[in-house]
Structure 1
Amino acid sequence: MLSGRRSAASHLLLAPAAAWLIVFLVLPALGLVALSLARNGAYGTVVWSLNLDNYRRAVDPRYVPVLLRTLGFAGATTALCLILGYPLAYFLSFRAGRFRGALIIALMVPFWTSALVAFYSWMVILGKEGLLNSALLRFGFISAPLGILYTPFSVLLGLVYFYLPFTVLPLYGSLEKIPRSYVEAAYDLGADRWTTFLKVTLPLSLPGVIAGALLTFIPCLGDFLTAELLGGPRYYLLGNLISNQFLMAQDWPFGAALTTLLLAGMIGGLWAYRRWEPDA
């Protein structure tokens, strides 16, 4: 009797969150899938004749360079975030001491500012008349302004800046779960720091590595604002292609098909992570 009441109370507490997810996530996603099966009519209208033409267009070879460019930027961003994020997460977990809280708060600063404001700030810094070029010219390191903005470097810099916390926080959580007695036991058995890291710390932190990589790679696939502001039209990504279908080309069914494929890839990545997690 008591367990039944507790179960009913749990369901009642979950009901608002479940209703919110159904109304604002599940139903829009289903509507997106339905829209992807329609076709585009005159003047941007939607003709509800169910077909797979939009998915056939999505795999057209003309979009392969956009897909490859997107995968390249997402992969490079993920790799750089792991290279930069793992030492930072390790320091926060094992070495930060009483400064840990302040450093974690500093790490969260990109979440506290609007992405639009942050990217415009990078444009001010990286522009030909920006702060970076002005400083380099003033101290004599260069004789002419560098073309840093609207390059692959500026796009990658913006992506790493924004997504680095998505990598560090899962890594930090995974490293925090490692019993310190395991590390001490490795030292007691004669292992040096490098061997202890390779044999103990790194294997036990792999779930955090996988989670951080997924939480960085998957959102990067749909990012469009970074390439729009820091890369310009030369570095057109999948997110820009989807955005333009809805906002400029007024081809909503094709945009919905591209979004559905992107969502399917994201769900597949999360499913793969869930398959990995129990074994880790």
Structure 2
Amino acid sequence: MAFAAFGSSATPTEHAPRRKSPVAIILLLPGLAYLALFFLTPLVSLVLTSLQAPVEFGDVGQYQAAVKIENYAAVIGAYWPHFLRAFGYAIAATFFALVISYPLAYFIGVKARPWPLLQALMLTLVIAPFFISFLLRTLAWKQLMSDDSGIVSLLKALTILPADGHLTGTAFSVIFGLTYNFIPFMTLPIYTTLERLDTRYLEAGSDLYASPVSTFWRVTIPLSLPGIVSGTLLTFIPASGDYINASASFLGSAQTQMVGNVIETQFISLLNYPQASALSVLLMGLILLIVGIYVKRSGTEDLL
């Protein structure tokens, strides 16, 4: 019993509560201050602005604090087609970017491993568009798709495009522009995952008499799923709020306007700040809802 008592006894220092070090809190303060100043404060301001009401007998662009929920009902009733168009274009662009980016990332991350120089060259080519302005790249494609360009003339000569047909100002050109501009955002996360892929798993699938297609779907895709989810999120989220490609000044027209174009018009041209803010809040909320469901269904909740 003496030994038992001795063995169960503990010195005061063993069970004494540890004092929490203030170092971790001090290190977090700059980040928390940054989030509060540049994320939380604008978000609160955006929500408050979305509830404002016009000043009676005031000039255009003058609004006062209020709780006007009708602003949300008004923008939903007037601009729900723009929401559908924005998410439809974003989903299509995300799909096409994935179809193009996955084989590219697979080749760079898996097949090109024996040749580091080739890997570096292809990664440089993927990243190269980032060295050119987003606007300049989109304007370049506007010129390439214009009615008097060689591409359009060739398509008309091959009767792929009608004689009076156009590329710019169509849903095709907007989706093409979104896909092109966001391909690097899809390729790099997938490459990062595939670059760490242990190829012995692929060899094991072959040794177990699995076909290359079966090995791809049962081994490669599941192991690269985190990269796929990250890439689709990095593509879908900014594409949903994009207002450059769908603008009539670039690849779009009045018939291809997305909700981002409406927000720009309401805020800059019409000075209708409450409706622009309400549209922004709704867009943000819908994106969060879609992303939450997508991540939950994909089984990668740790990415949130």
For 1:230-275, what per-residue CA distance to the aligned partner results, in whole angstroms no more than 9, with x for missing partners?
A: 1122211111011111011111011101101111223334444664
| % same residue | 34
C-alpha contact (below 8 Å) 1:223/1:239 kept by paired residues: yes
**Greater relative contact order: 1 or 2 (C-alpha under 8 angstroms, separation 6 or more)?**
1
Letter of the structure 1 residue corresponding to residue 131 of structure 2: W
Residue in structure 2 matched with residue 24 of structure 1 by the alignment: 38
User: Which residue does the alignment assign to 2:215?
Assistant: 196
The one of 86, 104, 107 equivalent to 1:91 is 107
Q: Residues 271 and 64 (structure 1 numbering): CA distance in 2 closer, same or farther, change over 3 Å?
A: closer
Partner SS for 1:67 = helix
Which aligned pairs between 1:88-237 and structure 2 lie closer than 5 A?
A: 88-97=104-113, 98=116, 99-133=118-152, 136=154, 147-228=166-247, 229-237=250-258
In terms of Rg, which structure is larger?
2
> Alignment partner of 2:255: what SS?
coil
Contact 1:159 1:226 in 2 (8 A): yes
Task: Report whether the alignment pairs 1:8 with 2:8.
Answer: no
Give the equivalent residue in structure 1 for 2:79.
63
- Hey, what's the Cα distance between the residues in 1 that align with 2:152 and 2:74? 43
Q: Distance in 1 between matches of 2:26 and 2:122?
A: 39
Structure 2 unaligned spans of 5+: 1-17
Q: 1:118 to 1:8 in 2, by over 3 A?
A: same
Q: CA deviation at 1:192?
A: 2.6
Separation of aligned partners in 2, 1:233 and 1:120: 18
Q: For residue 49 of structure 1, what is the aligned residue in structure 2?
A: 66
Q: Which amino acid aligns with 1:56?
A: A
Q: Is the 8 A contact 2:245 2:252 kept in 1?
A: yes
Q: Which residue is 2:5 aligned to? A: none
The alpha-carbon deviation at position 114 of structure 1 amounts to 1.1
Deviation of 1:146 (Å): 5.5
Alpha-carbon separation, structure 1, partners of 2:229 and 2:273: 34
TM-score when normalising by structure 2: 0.81
| Conservation of the 8 A alpha-carbon contact between 1:133 and 1:145 | no
TM-score (norm 1): 0.87
Paired positions, count: 274
Alignment RMSD: 2.6
Segment drifting more, 120-129 vs 239-248: 120-129
